[in-house]
């Protein structure tokens, strides 16, 4: 939910700002600006989820409207949470796939990095258990 409310998430505009993308284009519909508002209100990729959300909280979709709806009651809160989870998880999954496709060896590099120290050397073997 926080990502849609703040705009800090898997949105082309934000990824461009933090230099993880070279364009702010929406990968789901090719709109020039992928923002939280675009995802929430306009992107056709999320039309079904949006329709369900609007049926529960009303037609107005903005971060402010989401907060107002969440404060109205449990049913509205659940509707907002469900929309955010479904859409953001799908966007995150698509982003991971794009990164993997662009950089196929990245997964191997990340695994190697986890197995080395900060200074680049191999991790020492674990210490043997101490005798009682």
Q: For residue range 43-63, what is the model confidence (pLDDT) as tens digits?
A: 999 999 999 999 999 999 999
Report pLDDT for 102: 80
Question: What are the φ/ψ torsions at residue 11 (nearest 5 degrees)?
Answer: -120, 135
Q: For residue range 32-41, what is the model confidence (pLDDT) as tens digits?
A: 999 999 999 9
Report pLDDT for 119: 52
Q: For residue range 60-95, what is the model confidence (pLDDT) as tens digits?
A: 999 999 999 999 999 999 999 999 999 999 999 999
What's the average model confidence in pLDDT over 15-27? 94
Measuring CA to CA, which residue among 16, 51, 34 is closest to residue 88? 34
Please answer whether residues 25 and 32 qualify as being in contact, where contact means their C-beta atoms are separated by less than 8 angstroms.
Answer: yes
Q: Which residues, including other chains, have CB under 8 Å from residue 71's CB and lie 6 or more apart?
A: 77
Q: For residue range 102-124, what is the model confidence (pLDDT) as tens digits?
A: 866 554 444 444 555 555 555 56
């Amino acid at each position: 939910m926080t990502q849609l409310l703040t705009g800090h998430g898997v949105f082309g505009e934000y990824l461009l700002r933090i230099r993880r993308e070279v364009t702010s284009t929406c990968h789901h519909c090719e709109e020039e600006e992928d923002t939280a508002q675009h995802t929430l209100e306009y992107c056709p990729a999320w039309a079904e989820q949006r329709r369900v959300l609007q049926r529960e909280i009303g037609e107005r979709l903005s971060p402010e409207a989401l907060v107002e709806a969440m404060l109205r009651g449990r049913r509205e809160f659940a509707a907002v949470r469900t929309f955010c989870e479904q859409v953001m998880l799908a966007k995150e999954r698509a982003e991971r796939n794009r990164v993997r496709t662009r950089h196929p060896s990245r997964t191997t590099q990340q695994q190697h990095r986890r197995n080395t120290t900060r200074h680049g050397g191999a991790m020492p073997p674990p210490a043997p258990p101490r005798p009682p």
